[in-house]
Amino acid sequence: MTGPSENGSAGFGPPVAGPLGGHGFTVPVLRLGDILLVTLQGELHDGMAEQLQQDITDRIAHTRVTGVVIDISGVDIVDSFLGRVLAEIAAGAGLLAARTVLAGMRPAVAITLVELGLTLPGLRTALDVERAMEMLTAGEHQGVPAGERQGEGSP
């Protein structure tokens, strides 16, 4: 691993971006090179979700990162509001030239999203954070729609 650089853009040692959120609860956000890693755990209240959206957009604009990984492996429920916020984060990131990957979705969450009819436009998915990071660092320019993984399909 490399150490932190002065501009925070090299390796896995860049400075940690501070926690986001409010109401006595924080959402950890790490800057790993040119990628922000946002880890959601537990319930994210509406006001916190909106603040998170604003903070991530600001962080992208000021740090010039090229990717955002949102890890939802610690989230049990994604309702229609949180689904919309995640899609809006991806849309805002896209307008600022950053790609967004949603990582760690639990099967029950995927089923709920399908039942609610939420497609999460602009979001690509990965089974875990490691794969999400690989997707972003591999320089992929074409997105994989939410719910589709590469290598699957008919023979």
In angstroms, the CA 53 to CA 51 distance is 5
Q: Is the dihedral of CA 120, 27, 8, 54 positive or negative?
A: positive
Summarize the confidence of residues 132-142 as an average pLDDT: 78
DSSP string, 83-139: HHHHHHHHHHHHHTT-EEEEE---HHHHHHHHHHT---TT-EEESSHHHHHHHHHTT
pTM over 0.85: no
Whether 32 contacts 4, CB under 8 Å: no
Region 100-126: mean pLDDT is: 91
Report which of residues 130 and 145 the model is more confident about.
130
15 φ, ψ (degrees, to nearest 5): -55, 145
Give the pair of three-digit tokens for residue 85.
């916020």
